[in-house]
A and B are shown apart, each in its own frame.
Chain A
Amino acid sequence: MIAGPGLPLVVDAVLDVAPDIRAFVLRHPSGDPLPSFVPGSHLPVFCGEGRINSYSLTGESGAPETYAISVHHRRDGRGGSTFMHALRVGDRLACGLPRSAFAPVASARHHLMIAGGIGITPFLSHLRAARRWGRSASLLFAVREGAPVPHAAELDALCGDLRVLRGRAAMTAAVEAALVDQPLGTHLYVCGPEAMIDDVLERAARAGWPAERCHAERFGAVLPPGAPFEAILRRTGRRIAVPAEASLLDAVEAAGIPWPSLCRQGVCGECRMEGVEGTILHRDHYLSPAEREAGNCLMPCVSRGAGLITLDL
């Protein structure tokens, strides 16, 4: 067993799977098996200077010897992927335990997966599980015109019903056709650029898919800054200001209050705050509609307040 939430790993291998996409194989320094993970899980990785990026685990999920992740180098990003692409074999990496936020639904009659670009990564473990447990699955994969298909050989081996689509028009046509031609009880999974996810979910809703059967994995979404606001800390009466370019979580931490967090993108659920009063502007992808409606909890890494809110701190 690994004690505590931290998981120190060593880079075991580095390989380029497509231009700007580099895969890393990671292992435990002692050679011990790593914790199993639910398909679709991501690995929180500390990318220097307090940044934590989350990468989908692409390898075997049952007590594996190694973890594999694939990282798209984003030169305009926050620097996490640049840090990752500089890693060499033997480098040490501080990671968190895998977290599940995009699990396959075991009772689904069929799994329809839709991926765009680097959004293919969580589907590699989904497809492994589908194969092991005899679950029916099909995959539509959008890849830019002329670009090589990342993980092509693996995908071919894992999925008997794979279509690679070149360009937006081809993908849109394939998605439209697929959404109206699935057995009842199919679950839809989509991962890729934010705009693609929104587009697929909107089309699914129009085609009559219940929201509970549509699942999206959003990463790398860049949120626009919000309006400045203030928070009162109920237990101490302190008042802290949250400027437009900072998150509530940043402001709480800057005030010297440690608070648990992982992805800092409103996905993982780690930083959830209860007992909040005031008008909350939810911007996360974690809370359910019912939880949002209750109006007393928020994810401070992305969500904000309007004017003045009170925190149970």
Chain B
Amino acid sequence: MTPDEARLSRFPWPFTGDAYRYSANVEPAPKLRRTPVGAWGGAVLDVDADYEAELSERAAVLARDPARHVELPHMRAATWDALVWGLRELAATHPETMSLAGAGRHLVWSNHRLGLTQGFRLGEEDTLPMAPLRFLASQIQEDVVLLDQREGQLFADAGCVTFASNWSMAFDLGMSFREIHGPVPHDLADGAIPRAEQFLMRLQPGEVFRRINWTSTAGHRLDTALDSYHEWGPSRRALATGDLAAVFHMRNEVQHLVRLPESGAIMFLIRTYLLPLGEICRVPEWRRQFAAVLRTLPEDILQYKGLTALRPRILAVLEAEPVEAA
């Protein structure tokens, strides 16, 4: 299998029907979902062939812009909770290369994939080379946001997010769930956002749910945070002038929601997958379905997803040749 084929086979295709509506669309996780070319969703933390490359990219972004990792002081317990939960989950999913050993509050993390062994004491920051949340982000491809639940609301009070899709963790720090979702057109969401918040606040420790979200990016670019807009913003021009099949990438986020067991915080994991339009066209069922979804998308969602001007051209690529019935 070539790297491209491997990526295609693990791509989390976001559509199940021929129409798309904004919704909370949550389901219990993990759960393997088959696609015409492979499967995805078998693990909460997905370690794939791009593991080393994406972690290097994250480290480079953080070195350039340390403010991609931010936390409020009261989230200290939650960041340790997130670290231990994440390392345990990694070790359980990849016992052949990763392990978390130790007793009580003294633990030893081994990650052969990165050639790393790190002992630490829970709750003692100086036993780790970096903050617990940032250490977790150096071991998983997912971006991490921690939500504190208090006074009947959720607040994004900590995060290490290098691959944000057109938002900024530093800007959103401390915002309530509803404030963060302010930009989502309200009549479209139709109450989905308050409902999602209610659902999250009822999650019990150990429960994990996921949802999938999709948008688009020009080129294979993970860091499209608002913080670096000046760097990547101009590249969107290539969507107007370049070869759309190569430039237009479907950007999918598999988002997991975990109620952390000891702090009670909610961990929001965002894993970003990119697939060029040309690759989508290799799967007849996806090609047909994406075209059908684009044709039925209401104007305001098109606008929100930045696809208004692009739709006719994407459809032209998708419908360039007749697609055989799947």
Residue positions of A touching B, CB distance < 8 A:
1, 35-38, 41, 61-63, 97-100, 103, 105-107, 129, 132-133, 212-213, 269, 272, 288, 291
Q: Are A106 and B262 in contact, CB atoms less than 8 angstroms apart?
A: no
Instruction: Report Cα–Cα, A212/B155, bound state, in Å.
Output: 15
The answer to whether B150 has its CB under 8 Å from any CB of chain A is yes
Say whether A105 contacts B261, CB under 8 Å.
Answer: no
Which 10 A-B residue pairs are closest in the complex by CB-CB distance? A212-B151, A36-B261, A38-B264, A36-B262, A107-B74, A106-B74, A105-B150, A103-B264, A133-B77, A62-B262
10 more CB-based (< 8 A) A-B contacts, given A37-B261, A62-B122, A129-B77:
A38-B262, A38-B264, A62-B84, A103-B264, A105-B150, A106-B75, A132-B77, A133-B77, A272-B202, A288-B152
- Kindly name the residue among B81, B92, B261, B265 whose own CB sees the greatest number of chain A CB atoms within 10 A: B261
- Complex CA distance for A213 and B261, rounded to whole angstroms: 23
| Chain B 62-84 interface 0/1 with A at a Cβ cutoff of 8 Å (1 = within) | 00000000001011111001001
Most chain A beta-carbon neighbours within 10 Å: one of B148, B152, B202, B262: B262
Q: Kindly list chain B residues whose C-beta atoms are within 8 Å of the C-beta of A35.
A: 205-206, 261
Determine if A106 and B148 form an interchain contact, defined as CB atoms under 8 angstroms apart. yes
List the A side residues contacting B237 at CB < 8 Å: none
Q: How far is the CA of A38 from the CA of B264 in the complex (A)?
A: 6
- Which residue in chain A gives the minimum CB-CB distance to B85? A36
Which parts of B206-263 form the interface with A (CB within 8 Å)?
A: 206, 261-263
| B303 touches A (CB below 8 Å) | no
Instruction: Give complex CA distance A103, B204 in Å.
Output: 12
Q: Contacting A38 at CB < 8 Å: which of B74, B92, B157, B261?
A: B261
Chain B, range 193-208, C-beta contacts under 8 Å to A: 198, 202, 204-206
Query: Min CB distance, A121 to chain B, in Å?
Result: 18
Q: Flag if A99 contacts B152 (CB, 8 Å).
A: no
List chain B positions with a Cβ less than 8 A from chain A: 72, 74-78, 81, 84, 92, 105, 122-123, 148-152, 157, 198, 202, 204-206, 261-265
Contact (A37, B262) CB under 8 Å given A62-B122, A105-B150? yes
State the CA gap A129–B74 with chains docked (Å): 12
CA distance A198 to B262 in the complex (A): 29
B169 CB to nearest A CB, Å: 18
Task: Please name all residues of chain B whose beta carbon is closer than 8 Å to the beta carbon of A99 when the two chains form the complex.
Answer: 204-205
- Residues B150 and A106 in contact, CB atoms below 8 Å apart: yes
List chain A residues, Cβ under 8 A from B151: 105, 212-213
Chain A hits for B150, CB < 8 A:
105-107, 212
Q: How far is the CA of A41 from the CA of B260 in the complex (A)?
A: 13
Taking CB atoms, residues of chain A closer than 8 Å to B205 are: 35-38, 41, 97-100
A-B contact pairs, 5 of them (CB 8 A): A37-B262, A62-B122, A106-B148, A107-B74, A291-B198
Chain B nearest CB, measured from A70 CB (Å)? 21
Within the complex, what minimum Cβ distance (angstroms) separates B145 from chain A? 16
- Give the Cβ gap from B258 to chain A, nearest Cβ, in Å: 13
Assembled-state Cα–Cα distance A149/B265 (Å): 33
Closest B residue to A129 by beta carbon equals: B77
Q: Using Cβ atoms and an 8 Å threshold, which residues of chain B touch A62?
A: 84, 105, 122, 262
Bound CA span A118–B81, Å: 29
> Min CB distance, B74 to chain A, in Å?
4
- B264's contact among A1, A63, A100, A288, by CB below 8 Å, is which? A100
Q: Say whether A106 contacts B261, CB under 8 Å.
A: no
In-complex Cβ contact of B148 among A41, A100, A107, A133 (8 A): A107
B265: chain A residues within 8 A (beta carbon): 106
Least CB distance, B226 to chain A, in whole angstroms: 26
B72 engages A107 (CB within 8 Å)? yes
Q: What's the minimum C-beta distance from A173 to chain B, rounded to whole angstroms?
A: 29
How distant is the Cα of A37 from the Cα of B259 in the complex, in angstroms?
11
Q: Given B77, B105, B198, which contacts A106 in the complex, CB threshold below 8 Å?
A: B77
A132 pairs with B92, CB closer than 8 A: no
Per the bound structure, the CA–CA distance linking A41 and B151 in Å amounts to 18
Return A148 CB to nearest CB of chain B, in Å. 31
Task: Give complex CA distance A291, B197 in Å.
Answer: 13
Q: Are B76 and A133 in contact (CB under 8 A)?
A: yes
Contacts of B76 on A, CB cut-off 8 Å? 133
Residues on B with C-beta less than 8 A from A129 are 77
Distance between Cα atoms of A106 and B149 in the complex (Å): 9
How distant is A287 from chain B, measured CB to nearest CB, in Å?
10
Q: Which residues of B contact A272 (CB under 8 A)?
A: 202
In the complex where A1-B92, A37-B262, A38-B263 touch, is A106 in contact with B204 (Cβ < 8 A)?
no
Task: Contact check, A97 vs B204: say whether CB atoms are below 8 A apart.
Answer: yes
Please, which residues of chain A bring their CB within 8 A of the CB of B75? 106
Closest to A106 in B: B74
Residue of B nearest to A2 (CB): B206
